[in-house]
């Protein structure tokens, strides 16, 4: 006599969908499945947060979409150098990397 049992288990991990779905930016690989134009259009439909497009001439990275507020605290050149030096070594050309950045600006006033 065979004693066959069948059971199904459904597991789910739930979290709230956050808007914008991108924290501070995205680094797009040269062979990523979606380009900056399509992602920019999607972001414009999902959020009122402004993003700037930075095109990068590189063999791995093609574009960076960065929250405009970040570029008020640092220059495009400094951000691109950071991405190329720190992010690029950890990514492949087919990837899209989320950026969650902290930019600190230190101000000092000297009174005489």
Q: Find out whether 88 and 12 touch, Cβ atoms under 8 Å.
A: no
Q: What is the pLDDT of residues 60-99, one digit of tens each?
A: 999 999 999 999 999 999 999 999 999 999 999 999 999 9
pTM for this entry: 0.80
Q: What is the pLDDT of residues 30-56, one digit of tens each?
A: 999 999 999 999 999 988 999 999 999
Q: Given this model, what pLDDT does residue 9 score? A: 85
Q: Given this model, what pLDDT does residue 1 score? A: 63
pLDDT of 2 higher than 80? no
Q: Given this model, what pLDDT does residue 4 score? A: 78
Domain regions of the chain by residue span? 26-99
């Amino acid at each position: 006599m065979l004693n066959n049992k069948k059971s199904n288990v459904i597991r789910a991990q739930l979290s709230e969908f956050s808007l914008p779905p991108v924290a501070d930016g995205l680094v797009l690989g040269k062979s990523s499945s979606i380009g900056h134009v399509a992602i920019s259009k999607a972001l414009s439909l999902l959020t009122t947060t402004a993003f700037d497009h930075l095109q990068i001439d590189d063999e791995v990275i093609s574009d960076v979409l960065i929250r405009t507020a970040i570029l008020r605290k640092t220059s495009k050149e400094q951000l691109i150098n950071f991405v190329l030096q720190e992010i690029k070594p950890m990514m492949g050309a087919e990837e899209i990397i989320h950026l969650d950045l902290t930019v600190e600006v230190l101000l000092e006033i000297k009174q005489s």
